[in-house]
Structure 1
Amino acid sequence: MDHQSSKGLQQFKNNVGIKFQLYNSLFTSLPFHRIEKTGILLSLLLNNCEEGYKKKMSPVDIIADFFKKHTSFSNEEDKLDLLFRFIQYVERQVVLFDALEDASFRDVNDINGVGTLKHLESEVVQNGKEAELTEKLKDFGIRLVLTAHPTQFYPGAVLGIINDLAKALADNNTSQINMYLQQLGKTPFLNKEKPTPYDEAMSLIWYLENVFYAAA
């Protein structure tokens, strides 16, 4: 591993990994129904899965063993309710991790390194290729293509929170971070109906306005 890669990995651990552990702990303190127990039980489930995998247990047996060891649930409805709460909890953890990655992009990645426009500019000047570059740019174009995938489709309200959360994380604004995490806890991720092509187009337009261009 070269020096730049090693430095980038360390930056990732510092700006994403460690901060994720820190802010992830805020989830357990949010004032929502049984969220503290959900976070604790999710950690126990992780350990149960790791141990069960080593013992070559089936997924069904691992889950059954978890409920037997760590809960007093006897009916299927309670078990399914807990598993659904696990999914809700993990969904929000994923959003937090994504927001941390976005907030740390400039620190983790060399935005002036090989493959960037800044590096290209330096190479052009160094090799005296300004005239050739100018000529090339006369017929050069970029077409931005965005694809929508059903499993990555967030409702508009969630997209807004993700964007604001990333900004708060970049500013290390703890009070705002806590507020946005609370909003995530209250905002549904599920769409009751399958998104239409129009819905997907509007979602992509959101990215154009808020990520690719500084447009309102």
Structure 2
Amino acid sequence: KEIKIFFYEDFHLVFYLIILLSIFFIFFSFNSDFTDIFFSISSSISNIGFSTDMPNLNLSFIYIILVIIGGSFFSTSSGLRFIRIYTLLKFSLNQVLSFSKPRNIFMSKLAFSKINFNFDVINKYFLSIIIFIISLFSLTILLSFFNIEFEQSLKLAVLTLMNTVNSSSYGLGDFDFNNLHFLNKYCLIVFMIIGRIELLTILLILKKYLFKN
């Protein structure tokens, strides 16, 4: 079943990428070479972070959102994963519809497949997003304490948790890490590790060994 989920997620990501490219091509390509935008989109959703020297289109927060969503399970980098967000949105919608139409049964099924997500999987997805939100705001607050602007702190926190290189696409191309306080550097290292292995994994390991009964 896990292999099928991996396959179908990559299948959905094709549509996800096509929709993104269509939107950017229609609304944002008039002032820039579309190949630069395509490279930035691909780099963001795969959590690589590289970009070309493109003109400022004020798209940094859009690229940050793409970084947060991230790529597929096959990716070695981080990201909340498109399938998690898609599944939670569909499950939430089904719950609302089930209350409005109690006689109908709504299944949390992955589109274009026969895979149904049970409550354990949905709870795991929900918990991982909650942990990400807590980690994001914690790191943002810690960075803000050392006189880093809130916008830069937020972007830097996202890129750190998602293990993504900072670049001009995110408005951090000129950010100087050499001038950071050493405590800031240690915070970035710790949260980078958390983003890589996910705090949820650490909690599950601790639960296994500390609460054996």
Same fold (TM over 0.5): no
Larger radius of gyration: 1
More helix by share: 1
Q: Which TM-score band applies after superposition, normalised by the shorter structure?
A: 0.3 to 0.5
